[in-house]
Amino acid sequence: MRFGVVVFPGSNCEQDVVHAARHLGFEADYVWHGDTDLSGFDAVVLPGGFSYGDYLRCGAVARFSPVMAEVVRFAAKGGPVIGICNGFQILCEAHLLPGALLRNRGLKFICREVSLRVEDSVCQWVDLPAGSVVRIPINHNEGNFICDPEVLKSLKEGGRIVLRYCDEDGVVDLDAAPNGALDAIAGVCNETGNVFGLMPHPERAVDPVTGRTDGAAFFGAIAGRVAALAG
């Protein structure tokens, strides 16, 4: 299993993702935003950070990096793509995922571990039973997910809402997301479930020395999926 972790100017979690993947026994290497070759990678990660300073709009400039055209092709062929935090914002700007991420409701950056409820979804990056609760840190200023009502409807019907913010017991208050996200949505995927965007940082919850390990499941799920396909 080999993860390709894209490095945009201003990315700052790429080393963390590579460390986490390798810690879990997978291969992981960097992909420069100017490169256009994703061959040899089983999954692509758009890591967190502040690509192009998050100036203008988060992800707005990174979306035009040469590598993104290739990421679009990779995703179209069913290749697994995950966008974490800034990566999620880039996927939305690139229209690989619906909606957009606005300033947090309180206008404050939030770095905190949160509880997330795994929803019943088609997402290939998750193999935890629906309803399970994971604890993973969030770390963003623009995680306030929004989309228009029709899109929300299609997300619900298509099983494309992957994670929701909840309390320790897994209870979701649709209006109580720490960042104000619509329907407390923390992560969504595309129709086919191979493209996944989430605000929380699974790579920060992998190594027991620095806290919990709930984030490992996402790396494991997709690796299992890839191995299965490889037969």
Kindly list the catalytic residues: 85, 201, 203
Residues 54-113 that bind other proteins (CB under 8 A): 54-57, 60-61, 64, 92-93, 95, 98-100, 102-112
Question: How many Cβ atoms sit within 10 Å of the Cβ of residue 152?
Answer: 19
Under rule CB under 8 A, residue 115 binds other proteins: no
Taking the complex as a whole, the smallest distance from the CB of residue 98 to other proteins amounts, in Å, to 8
209 binds other proteins (CB under 8 A): yes
Applying CB under 8 A, the span of 4-12, 72-80, 117-125, 162-170 interacting with other proteins comes to 4-12
End-to-end CA distance of the chain: 13
Closest CA to 126 of 96, 157, 169, 162: 162
135 in contact with other proteins (CB under 8 A): no
List residues bridging with 118 in a β-sheet: 163
Closer CB to other proteins, residue 79 or residue 187? Answer: 187
Q: Is 53 in the site for other proteins (CB under 8 A)?
A: yes
**Exposure string over 86-99, b if 16+ CB within 10 A, otherwise e:** bbbbbbbbbebbbb
Q: State which amino acid sits at residue 29.
A: D
> Three-state SS for 177?
coil
27 counts as binding other proteins under rule CB under 8 A: no
Q: Which residue's CB is nearer to other proteins, number 163 or number 184?
A: 184
Distance CA 216, CA 220 (A): 6
Binding residues vs other proteins (CB under 8 A): 9-10, 12-13, 15-16, 19-20, 49-50, 52-57, 60-61, 64, 92-93, 95, 98-100, 102-112, 137, 139, 141, 144, 146-149, 152, 175, 180, 182-183, 201, 203-204, 207, 209-210
